[in-house]
Structure 1
């Protein structure tokens, strides 16, 4: 079958190639009026899909038949048309066009082509060259800092990091807040940006508000990212790219290096103690292993080892290779791409493999247009378990809890090393990290197939009908392997006897699929010279299905055979099934007057299976206006001033239904069941309101777009406000009802913000060009209302550090255990000088930034190009769980305060016995060692840090080789690039432990860090690209 498919593809490309037999090669150079070569000019054959772009020297080459017309287009320049005659050379000089800014076509909702001036809402786009500048394999991370209003967080690290993609902040307290991702018209499942190959993407259009919800439904209330993949455009074209990339740990916690291992409570020196509460390092030899019966023991200096913990991590290495084959003419297009990645992570033996395959095809037959799209994604992950050892801890925890004087790299031979084997090793309280790497693994295999097809029929040049259907199927197989932890012999009189445990395994299989179809009737007609009407009427259907099975078994009897059938204990398992359906009808109409005034109205009605029959139908409308003042009042336009000016406004309502089965009572497995052959179920703890309705978002925005100095400077400013009301939240009820809470519609969340994008060509001369772009996003979010009598709603987290929604306060807030304080904010200490822990928790700040600034800079000099992306986020806090763990083990910088002697607690006071408080200047803490810092770690406000940071996200330097020389040997283009991703991070001085961007999860629990991840890394790489 594979061979047959290969021959069919080859025959198709051969047929396309033969169709170019009567064509010839036309080449030339494109310059501006001052004689400067223009790179990136689109050269298109009029009426066809074929074309090319000029290179860095303004040169182009295209296969075209005599008599055809070439159209040269470039942002800010007037289009130029040239007819191909006898000459094989066509040089072009382009003139500036002060009116073109609003004429550029963008891909809007449902894949409809629209001009920006017609739109009443904010739209941005990211081109392919900006996505692939630093060769990121993850599309989400490649978009960071490039669009205002788009906040993408890398929530963890490792061989396959996860991201959270949000536009304009959180709208819902408990429901999904991530933006909808649409790929070639198909609403994709979550995480697709982490999976799709960026090299396949032509353009990503960002619809920031809820305005697209009329066409895409309630998921679009969170904004939409519309991805358009590449297609064949010209003669047979082959592009090869190859990348070698290295990765290293860039940021480790700061450790105290004054005190070493010791036990409590008196801090005596104990070489085999994992906590660093011993005396100061003194360089003397100390036991580093248990003692054999013959008296042999490993002796090492009691001195800190520089970069000891960092030395555990390896240099990661990634190989990436890809090929794209494409061809096209005025009636057909075909593109095939294959990209594969093989990665070894910075954690030893962590591995990741990924394969992306894509086949896009299109064909025009009379009035019919057919398009087909197939993509396949496969990944294999083999990493150390995230719940390793007897404590079910991540490997990072075991690494950072290793004392500074224990040479961690020498602990690799845990199996038969004389002093490092696990029977006598230092690692008795918890396992050797190298043992966990070899014996406790998480393996994951993920496959995803997506098919998209659409048929368009053009009744006339102004009326068409399109039917599009897409189907995606994915399956994920996960297996956790945990080897038996046993001892070959027992050491007598050991300092600590290591706990043993038996082998276990767990399996999870998830199968899901999605079907989505749209039927759209499109109308676009000019009425005389004054009016234009664009209308789209349609119907959509969505069906989601998921089935997940979990199995686990313990006490496996066959070594290294991880199969639940070999268990001797009880077989544990569960199953989850989801079926969801939604049907909608929609309409969107734009009325244009004199090509400078555009009025828009939209409406949609959905029927959702996750709501009751009485409430499953819900309607939401919208409307907007756009005015191009520079066209309406031409006198506003001057050569040295305003070039383009547009004002717009929009108000849209969108509905958002709850998750599947939210309106149904759920039964759960009862505690203690199954008991033998007896099964038992109990009613779930949550009751459902019989009147549960969708939550609604009312979104308002006003925008200004402008161009200055012949569009040398362009930009836009947008103000927006969203109010999401009838929030779907649980409310506590009496246990007498048989449940603890009821799911109902209550509460309102308000978001306000401003977005600014500025782009300019800062300098432009012969062989030199400097483009720079800056974007700013300011956010405020406030909980206006919860349920009557309820002041706070828990979103999730820990008992003493959780994310909450507080009525009247910014959202989301972090609430933590705290100290008692006086009216001046000073910490109150008791008679012993120790701070007093409050019986009440306190709000410690907002966990989302007040504002985000992005910077993009591109400098081109001859064939060289330097590209830089950076972003700055400020105004948030986060809770760092890593800090508390290091405090417990005595490795944190805090723990050596005052040389571990009693000290005056900073900014403290004590009672004067008369209701007042006296500043504490002489009352020392009861202890300066473990006893004090153990209590200190129980107060979580101590670990709430400023979440601000500056990151240089991407730096790349590329070089395009001379095309004239290359074409003599059959190469159209050859380029090479060196790049770095995340090379630098700058954080406030109090955060010396971790990356504040990392987060507990990809959900709404924002602002809680964790040690369950790999430390931050930087990447360096080299890429070679050849085009034939």
Structure 2
């Protein structure tokens, strides 16, 4: 899942925060692999001042993760955590249920579309006629939840055994974890085994900490290139008529079954259960995350700290698709499906370290100084190799040697090395005002050797007003007040080898035929069609922030507020060069983004009566990023471009914007129609931003005598998304819109004719053409504006109920020291606008969920979003 702390502040660079686990820089993959039972705390830092300490990867803030440790002193604990959750589909499109299988108003037993006549409940044939003259018969009536029921109840069972202890000089924490998950898609599974050892030891002035985490996981999911059209599974499910009993087609490998490929009713798309059994993507991944640190107190107020960490990932993958050749007698309309096997091996090795000297000096009764001076490095190496064999000879034998023809191979290998020096000085005056000055000089291997260094400074000034002016707290209401002003500059550099001229294998093209290199004993390469600016620079982000922290009623109620502005200049992105250059894209520095935001948070204990306590927290945030400039000649840059729709950065507009094929309208906003009564297709225009105007969230927690109840809800509005896949429902007649006019011709509401002289005539009697089917499949489908939807969302994110068994009861066991049981529900309820009938706006394509910035394209490449219900038990001895 992509994590964004303060919206998008770069067009092409990552907008995700840095992740630090136990003091060592880590990746999102390492964070996602953590056993949640072992996380002690997650601290979210949003300011850009972290850049001086952590480098450019902290330009978007940081998540500081601390895992569980033991305790010094005579202690020993053994514990066991378990949690079991059940996942079900939370949201699916709103389907029409008045018409079923057919084409252009006529019943057709082999169609995948819903353009047949209205349902009448009569038994009708579906699928091909068999050699004996028989044919499957089903009732011509809608089946409730026929698509939702395709998905199963997914389960996740997580178990963690742990042990911790310590003495006066040492402490440790060790754990073993196991997770087994079965997905909502039949046969999808995920298994994870993890081991953790954290330890600390003190010898005089030396303190050493070690943290190590190993995790191995195995995943098996349905492939994403299914059938002769290379579609994802969700597409196959959506292309099922309302009267088809989809769950009756599980017996796909039985030649006598209606579910078999030759017998399946659908002449255009394969059986989803066949897809699950014959298209698999399996991965086996190992990860080692380890770091060690040592702190030595040279003097009472001077110490030296050294840290070294590694984050290594390696594994293999195997994706395959079986061939399918259809019966020549039954002759289904499908094209034959070819087989392939893709074997992958991947490894990613990252090492990082830093060493610094820190001090804490009292210069006088009024002044203190805390200096830090150090050096750091990060080294990353990545290699991903892939070999593909096509047209497998022996069915079910998934080995490269089983392919026919030339193997296809490719390797992606990257290395990057960055080192730098940093300094941080904090000057304090009378323990209420602090001035922090920080700077960092980095050198990177991804930039030209004569321009590979960059310095970024940071400055902040904070004042604890309640200490400086004690009188402001005399009223007994305000107990604490602090204000902070800061400015910081950080840089983003290029990805590895972006400056290098690259070559790739090119196919031989002869008409519609393609012959890939190597061709026999001959290989061939062509130079990349991308060019790079020889004077390309670092991408610069400068952030100014003002923060206010207040405490009320002896800090029983806390308020945190922040206002910030980030100017991003010299943006690194691809543009379209002149035709004369011979290149198709040009990597260079462009323009400027301006990001502004406000964050407000209130938390506190609002009620405490006896054993009852109620804590409430609420937050409000609003972020806006405007494209101030691109280049003199370029006014927009495509982020995700699908031709008739996509996400863009547009000068003068909030980033990102969705553009889509629109209606042609007159100056009054009325839709212009042609002589045939159909709306006239307009230009691809901007139709709205994909980031909300604001987000409001609240968390409530009540507790009474060991019982706790908590809930988290949030609301966001003011943005849109493109419901990708909704147009396919239009084509197949499954959408609500396709029956909104009873499949009759109608006059487009409030439409006009263009008279050609800047005047317009109201259309009162010319209906659209082919309202039975053609209009919806073609003209309505062509105008992608129809699928840009309001992304407003209200969600009950989480509700949990827990019970901490009183110690007085546990003492009777003489063994159990702690016992907590609970139930939890996630993504419990979602409220969407009436116009959004397709999907949860947070359900995005896979390509947009990691570091991609093309947010706002709702996807069908995954499974539908889910709702989780479960229980947990924690016991300690």
TM-score w.r.t. length of structure 1 = 0.82
Whether 1:858 and 2:692 are equivalent positions in the alignment is no
Aligned to 1:1015: 864
Deviation at 1:583, TM superposition (A): 0.7
What displacement does 1:211 show?
A: 0.8
Q: Indicate whether 1:847 and 2:686 are aligned.
A: no
Residue 915 of structure 1 and its aligned partner are, at CA, apart by: 2.3
Equivalent residues in 2 for 1:61-210 (5 A)? 163-210=1-48
**1:913, CA displacement in angstroms?**
5.3
User: Which of 657, 661, 684 is the aligned partner of 2:493?
Assistant: 657
CA shift at 1:490, angstroms?
3.8
2:279 to 440, 446, 457: 440
Q: 1:204 touches 1:227 (CA, 8 Å); kept in 2?
A: yes
Asked if structure 2 preserves the Cα contact closer than 8 Å seen for 1:668 and 1:683, the reply is: yes
Residue from 896, 900, 914 that aligns with 2:743: 900
Q: 1:861, 1:209 → 2: CA distance?
A: 37
1:924 aligned counterpart, secondary structure: coil
Question: Tell me, what secondary structure is at the counterpart of 2:237?
Answer: helix
Counterpart contact for 1:897–1:928, Cα < 8 Å? no
Counterpart CA distance in 1 for 2:656 and 2:787 is: 17
Equivalent residues of 2:115, 2:732 under 8 A apart: yes
Task: Report the alpha carbon displacement of residue 639 of structure 1 after superposing the two structures with TM.
Answer: 5.4
Please state if 1:549 is matched with 2:395: no
- What is the CA–CA distance in structure 1 between the aligned matches of 2:701 and 2:743, rounded to whole Å? 52
Moved segments of 4+, more than 6 Å: none
In the alignment, what sits opposite 2:752? Answer: 909
**Partner in structure 2 of residue 241 of structure 1:** 81
Match of residue 729 from structure 1: 573
Give the Cα–Cα distance (whole angstroms) in 1 for the partners of residues 578 and 793 of structure 2.
45
Is contact 2:163-2:175 (8 Å) kept? yes
Selected match of 2:414 from 575, 578, 595: 578
**Contact preservation (8 Å) 1:261, 1:269:** yes
Pairing 1:345–2:183 present: yes
Cα distance in structure 1, aligned partners of 2:7 and 2:258: 54
Is the Cα–Cα contact under 8 Å of residues 249 and 346 in structure 1 kept in the other structure? Answer: yes
CA distance in 2, matches of 1:697, 1:498: 53
Residue 1024 (1) aligns with residue 865 (2): no
**Change beyond 3 A, Cα 1:456–1:431:** same
Q: CA deviation at 1:912?
A: 4.3
Q: Within 2, Cα distance between the matches of 1:1019 and 1:229?
A: 25
- SS of 1:852's equivalent in the other structure is strand
Find the aligned partners of 1:777 and 1:922 in 2 and give their Cα distance.
Answer: 49
Aligned residue number for residue 977 of structure 1: 822
Q: CA contact under 8 A between 1:208 and 1:224: conserved in structure 2? A: yes
State whether residues 297 and 419 of structure 1, in contact with CA within 8 Å, keep that contact through their aligned partners in structure 2. no
Whether the 8 Å contact between 2:224 and 2:231 is mirrored in structure 1 is: yes
For 1:815-834, list aligned pairs within 5 A: 815-834=659-678
The answer to whether 1:293 aligns with 2:137 is no
- Runs of 5+ unmatched residues, structure 2: 509-516
Could you say which residue in structure 2 is the equivalent of 1:567? 403
Q: Deviations over 1:674-714 (max 9, x none)?
A: 23222222221111222111111110000111011222211
SS of the residue 2:306 aligns to: strand
Determine the structure 2 residue equivalent to 1:918: 761
The residue aligned with 2:97 is 257
1: CA distance between counterparts of 2:586 and 2:679?
Answer: 40
Match of 2:437 in 1: 601
SS in structure 1 at match of 2:737 = helix
Match of 1:967 in 2: 811
Structure 2 counterpart SS, 1:933: helix
**1:272-307 Cα distance to aligned partner (Å, 9 max, x none):** 211111111111221123112222111111111111
Distance change (3 Å), C-alpha of 1:907 and 1:213: farther
SS of aligned partner of 2:201 = strand
Deviation sequence 1:833-881 (CA, Å, 0-9, x none): 100002x210011111121112111000111100111221211111011
Partner of 2:722: 879
| TM-score, length of structure 2 as denominator length | 0.96
Alpha-carbon shift at residue 582 of structure 1 (Å): 0.4
Shift of 1:193: 2.8
- Asked if 1:503 is matched to 2:344, the reply is no
Residue 364 of structure 2 aligns with which residue?
A: 528
Residue of structure 1 equivalent to 2:838: 993
Q: Whose strand proportion is higher, 1 or 2?
A: 2
**1: distance between equivalents of 2:296 and 2:33?**
33
CA distance in 2, matches of 1:274, 1:546: 44
Residue 803 (structure 1) shift: 1.0
Alpha-carbon distance between aligned partners in 2 of 1:670 and 1:274, rounded to the nearest angstrom: 37
From 194, 199, 222, the counterpart of 1:361: 199
Q: Secondary structure at the match of 1:726?
A: strand
Q: Confirm or deny: 8 A CA contact 2:227 2:337 kept in the other structure.
A: no
Q: Equivalents in 1 of 2:374, 2:497: separation in Å? A: 27
**Residue 382 of structure 1 contacts residue 443 of structure 1 at CA under 8 Å; is this kept in 2?**
yes
SS at 1:164's partner residue?
Answer: coil
The offset of 1:507, in angstroms, is 1.8
Tell me the distance in 2 between the aligned counterparts of 1:988 and 1:181.
35
CA distance in 2, matches of 1:1007, 1:1021: 31
Aligned to 2:836, the other structure's residue is in SS state: coil
> What is the match of residue 681 of structure 2?
837
TM-superposition CA deviations, 1:895-943 (whole Å, max 9, x none): 0021000112234222245421234343311121221011211111110
Q: Distance in 2 between matches of 1:870 and 1:347?
A: 28
Q: Is the 8 A contact 1:615 1:692 kept in 2?
A: no
CA distance in structure 1 between the aligned counterparts of 2:808 and 2:552, rounded to whole angstroms: 37
Equivalent residue, structure 2, for 1:870: 713
Instruction: Mark the runs of 5 or more structure 1 residues left unpaired by the alignment.
Output: 1-162
The answer (yes or no) to whether the contact 1:241–1:321 under 8 Å persists in 2 is: yes
Query: 8 Å contact 2:157–2:181 — kept in the other structure?
Result: yes
Deviation at residue 633 of structure 1 after TM alignment = 0.6
Q: Is the 8 A contact 1:272 1:287 kept in 2?
A: no
Taking only aligned residues, the RMSD between alpha carbons, in angstroms, comes to 1.4
Contact 1:363 1:371 survives alignment (8 Å): yes
Cα contact 1:797–1:1005 (8 A) shared by 2: no
- Is the CA contact 2:259–2:271 (under 8 Å) kept in the aligned structure 1? no
For the pair 1:455 / 2:294, whether they are aligned, the reply is yes
Whole-Å separation in 2 of the counterparts to 1:709 and 1:429 = 68
Matches within 5 A, 1:394-473: 394-416=232-254, 417-473=256-312
Query: Is the partner of 1:211 in helix, strand or coil?
Result: helix
